Amino acid sequence: MKIGDLDLGHQPLFLAPMEDITDPSFRHLCKQSGVNMMYTEFISSDGLIRDGAKSVKKLDIFDDERPMGIQLYGHLVESMVEATRMALESKPEVIDINFGCPVRKIAHRGAGAGMFMNIPLMMKMTRAIVEASTVPVTVKTRLGWDEQNKVIFEVAEQLQDQGISALTIHGRTRAQMYKGRADWTLIGEVKNNPRMVIPIIGNGDITNPVEARHAFEHYHVDGIMIGRAAVGKPWLFGHIRHYLETGELLPEPSVSEKVDMARLQFSKSLEMKSEPVGIYEMRRHFSNYFKALPHFKELRLKLLTTLDVNEIYDLLEKIRDQYGDYRPEITGGFWDK
């Protein structure tokens, strides 16, 4: 699969951009696992052009992370174009436009998935960014605004006409948020539309290698993007790649192996964000790293409430000592299909 001249190989796997999740500390572990391409956390065009410290910091890209995309969102064409020019200074391989975020404060301002309420503006913005960018421009979007307005088939053609180089489709509407099952049928229809020539990347509910292979084989997407299912599970990409190439399902990492990964991510989070932000932003990851451990309530509560760095490291070692080589079976997640 290629995005412009960028060759990502056969059946590439993408890490979705997620606010307060896909920071460099998490990206580092996903890259070690074998993800083919990653993105920054999504960035507000308004925040960026106003020199907001948090938005500007998100532009940081490290050489060992590449290829990298920078994802932007906003509701004003001029602001998005200016933000694109600023983002290009970080030399990303791709500029990605977010037309999919369902969060009310973003969508109801007309940004993210809110662009489905003004498709002519969506196309005008896309064309302007393509013309302003010196690297390929891609789009991430949804099926439409709600069940009665699943317009992705037509919108995909229009976005391609504006000059984008790839399209990622999340298989839900804005109204669904993250509820219910993702509808891959429409993603497949877009991919199999003979008029579509750009790569189509599918997103939504891929939580294990079996589901990933099913998406490739039944919907013929060019790539798969994974978001929430990778939080606290950076090894997921490597396990999917191994299964796609060999047909063998690797076992869930042991708790001891997860402690090693959690410690590495935590140390990088502290290095890049300091205290207490580096602690706060690790909590969701910690919770997922050690999901489904028996009799874990007391340790979990301490791990997710303390602001003492040394205590966190001590707690991680207690988890290792108590659970060691234990490999939990996670209902509704890995390897249950």
- Angle, in degrees to the nearest 10, between helices 24-33 and 255-273: 140
Give the residue among 229, 198, 195, 199 at the shortest CA–CA distance from 212. 229
Cα–Cα distance between 205 and 212 in angstroms, integer? 9
195: helix, coil or strand? coil
- Tokens standing for residue 11: 């059946």
- What is the four-CA torsion angle of 257, 263, 265, 267, rounded to 10 degrees? -160
Give the residue among 124, 17, 128 at the shortest CA–CA distance from 70. 17
Contact by Cβ (8 Å): 36, 44: no
Judge if the upstream peptide bond of residue 276 is cis by omega within 30 degrees of 0. yes
Cα–Cα distance between 225 and 223 in angstroms, integer? 7
Confirm whether 30 is a catalytic residue: no
Q: Which of the following is catalytic: 70, 72, 95, 101? A: 101
Catalytic (active-site) positions: 101
